[in-house]
Amino acid sequence: MWKSLFLVAISGVQVSHVSSKAIADGYTQMGQPFRFNKNFVASAPAFEESSSEVWWPATGRPPLRKAQRAHLDETFDVAMHTDTSFPSPFEQPEKCVAFSSLSHSWVCDPDHLLSPEEQAFVEARLLKLRDTAKSSCDDSDNYYQTAVAVASDIVVNANETPQEATDRFAESLLRRWGVGNKGCHDGIVLAFVKNLKTVSLATRENVDARVASALFKTHIQRSMNHVFLSTGSPAAAVATGVELVNRHLPRAPTGLSWSATILLTLGGVYLASVLGIYYSLNTFMMKSYTVEQ
């Protein structure tokens, strides 16, 4: 009997140790990204992915597709995007921006993380970049083209980090969308993924080194993340990234600067005034001399 009680006590200690370890592991994982095998998640929507394991960030569970969450509020994330399912602003602008009357756009925000006004602001900054940032392709009259992709979430495969997945996502969009001048390989795509808090700047081979360098790409990632964490605004983060790209690309020659134009204008007015006074005085003196004669 004593032997049986001793064995029961030993088993109880082992079970208690295992339970404590499980609880500790559970607390360690709280608030961290979880990895779920799709076989263990009965409610997970079917994905057309070759990998059997998908990285679900944020809540630790796969987000519901729109059709499955009609009764839920807007706090739920939309379905995750892939580089092939993400719409093109050049072919499907109505899925990318609110002002879908345009034939195409340079912004794709299918999850509506930006308001229509914010989308229009980013679009305007991208158009300014396209009109002022000079590409060096064959010394022709070409300007850099930059597109922006904004997503709530993207699929991260089991064998990659969130940043690697975002880099792959941006690179794929750059080529699938065909951003850049034909034959110049000078396109740029800026991608921002809200839930992963990741940024990626994808550039083709002939983009200026000041923007295509790894150092600048790290700088733009840190700058955009800093703005997003400070403000909680995806629009502010994206606008910051677009401004940084625009600032570091080579400018198209636009003639005299505004300060030089003002100085030359003032100089011209001064010279005209001096000549006018001289002409008036000379005329007056000539009339006076004629009267005296």
User: In this predicted model, what pLDDT tens digit does every residue of 109-132 receive, in sequence order?
Assistant: 999 999 999 999 999 999 988 888
* 187-193/145-151 β-pairing: parallel
pLDDT band, residue 226 (cuts 50/70/90): very high
- The larger pLDDT score, comparing residue 104 to residue 52, is at 104
Residues 180 and 270 reside in one and the same domain? no
For 47, 107, 189, 254, 269, the CA distances from 96, given in Å and listed in that order, are 22, 7, 15, 33, 51
Residues 144 and 277 reside in one and the same domain? no
Residues 177 and 283 reside in one and the same domain? no
**pLDDT at 40 exceeding the cut of 70:** no
The three-state DSSP-derived secondary structure of 130-158 is HHHEECCHHHCCCECEEEEEEECCECEEC
26 within domain boundaries: no
For the residues 250-278, what does the mean pLDDT come to? 62
pLDDT at 279: 67
Residues 290 and 176 reside in one and the same domain? no
For the residues 154-174, what does the mean pLDDT come to? 94
Residues 205 and 88 reside in one and the same domain? yes
| Gap between the Cα atoms of 200 and 170, Å rounded | 6
Highest mean pLDDT: which range of 66-75, 154-163, 263-272: 154-163
In 152-252, which ranges are E strands?
156-157, 187-193, 198-203
pLDDT at 103: 83
For the residues 257-274, what does the mean pLDDT come to? 61
pLDDT at 281: 67
Residues 92 and 150 reside in one and the same domain? yes
Residues 100 and 243 reside in one and the same domain? yes
What is the maximum alpha-carbon separation in the chain?
151
Residues 214 and 153 reside in one and the same domain? yes
Contact 237, 225 (CB under 8 A): yes
- The larger pLDDT score, comparing residue 205 to residue 45, is at 205
- The larger pLDDT score, comparing residue 283 to residue 107, is at 107
pLDDT band, residue 264 (cuts 50/70/90): low
pLDDT at 250: 84
Total structural domains within the chain: 2
The 10 Å Cβ neighbour count of residue 58 is 14
73 within domain boundaries: no
- In sign, the C-alpha dihedral spanning 225, 81, 175, 96 is negative
Enclosing domain of residue 263:
258-293
Residues 239 and 262 reside in one and the same domain? no
183: left (phi over 0), alpha (psi -120 to 50) or beta: left
Q: What is the pTM of this model?
A: 0.61
- The larger pLDDT score, comparing residue 201 to residue 102, is at 201
- The larger pLDDT score, comparing residue 211 to residue 32, is at 211
The SS3 assignment for 201 reads: strand
Residues 144 and 240 reside in one and the same domain? yes
**pLDDT at 45 exceeding the cut of 70:** no
